[in-house]
Amino acid sequence: MDGEPINLQRFAELGSEGVDLLLTDSTNVEEPGFTGSESTVGETFFNYFRGSKNRFIVTTFASNIHRIQQVIDAAAAFNRKVVINGRSMESMVEVAQDLGYLKVPKNTIIDISQMKNYKPRDLVVITTGSQGEPMAALGRMANGDHAHLDVGPNDTIILSASPVPGNERLVGEVINKLIQKGCDVVYHKVANTHVSGHASREDLKLIQALVKPKFFVPVHGESRMLMHHKQLANDLGLDTKNIFILENGQELEFDKRGAKVIKETVSSENILVDGLGIGDIGSIVLGDRKRLSEDGLFIVIQKMAGSRPVGNPDVISRGFVYVKESEDLIAGAKRQVSKALDHCKSRQVSDWAELKSAIRSSVQRYLYDKTQRSPMVLPVLVGV
């Protein structure tokens, strides 16, 4: 789209000079042939926009400036105004315009608040959410909770992206919800709405043949893709002992004798961002959240005078059962607390940590026996 095709001659020159190591994207190694041109997608936008009275909502990767350019070109050709929606899309379009990578005809882009001044046939919305993310703009439209866009039969939704491996279910759910709202949904399986940004099998063969590396590391792909890419390089004459499939964090070391994977690894764990915390949420906390989301929370509060219980325990349930409608279950759980404390008394156990552990185990067994569910049981001892 920018008039700068791949410089295969330069790849060949580097191959002639000698390349020690080639690392190549493996995502589309299973796709036969060559990856098509980005410019072919623009024809799809023109064909759909032509003569339609619907409002168009197009979703794609915010980083795909060439795709956004083609949507804007088609919109301008049919005198449609363009609305940019979604935080990452708005930021990317603004920066691309400032740097001159995105050419937008004057007065083409309008603010989302101005949509009410135009008929559906006069609008194109470019939005985030191509991967089915629930909190992205398209996901909110599908769920009916977008602040400005209420979609229905007068809308044509074009998903100008294919699902990233692993996102197929999320994307499918969004498509189904949009169709249930009466939208006309166009996606890569029913129209030419997307061209991959990844090299296909013949592209990868060509690069291998031109570069002729001594060593090769297939990267960016799932295990099966990396293995297929390894086989491709081997079929083209590269010895398997010079091809390395690495796990995240593994180190590949080179010297005059060759290359080898060394024992030491570097940290490559996911860094989770939660509110203002960065990297402070570990596996234990995540495990607790998962359990709470699936089975709920059951809190037992017992007043204590030293190691002696005072009165009956109180129970709070969240996400497990509704206390007022489960009186028999709650009464049984309270009896288990008393039994656990009586058992501890007979063994002369007075340490509160041990008392709480005994209560937790007793109540957990009881609740599972009665419900076949395992909520998180949280005993609380209060000194009086």
Mean of the per-residue pLDDT values of the chain: 94
Res. 284: pLDDT tops 90: no
Q: Identify the pLDDT of residue 4.
A: 86
60 touches 157 (CB < 8 A): no
Task: For the chain, give every domain's residue range.
Answer: 8-32+197-265, 40-186, 289-383
First to last CA, the chain: 75
Helix (H, G, I), strand (E, B) or coil at 139: helix
Res. 166: pLDDT tops 90: no
* Structure letter (DSSP) for residue 143: H
Distances from the Cα of 282 to the Cαs of 65, 279, 287, 293, in angstroms?
A: 36, 8, 9, 17
What is the CATH T-level fold of the domain 40-186, as seen in this structure?
A: Rossmann fold (3.40.50)
Active site residues: 25, 198
Q: How far apart are CA 58 and CA 80, in angstroms?
A: 13
pLDDT tens for 183-230 read 999 998 889 999 999 999 999 999 999 999 999 999 999 999 999 999
Which amino acid belongs to residue 11? F
Q: Identify the pLDDT of residue 283.
A: 81
Dihedrals phi, psi of 59, to nearest 5 degrees: -120, 140
For the ranges 77-86, 98-107, 286-295, which has the lowest average pLDDT? 286-295
Q: How far apart are CA 110 and CA 79, in angstroms?
A: 13
What is the CATH T-level fold of the domain 289-383, as seen in this structure?
A: Ubiquitin-like (UB roll) (3.10.20)
> Angle 87-98/65-77 helices, nearest 10 degrees?
90
Dihedrals phi, psi of 55, to nearest 5 degrees: -80, 140
pLDDT tens for 228-279 read 999 999 999 999 999 999 999 999 999 988 999 999 999 888 888 888 888 8
Beta-bridged to residue 315, according to DSSP, are 300
Q: What is the pTM of this model?
A: 0.73
69 falls in which pLDDT band (50, 70, 90)? very high
Q: Identify the pLDDT of residue 271.
A: 86
Tokens of 56: 């168009």
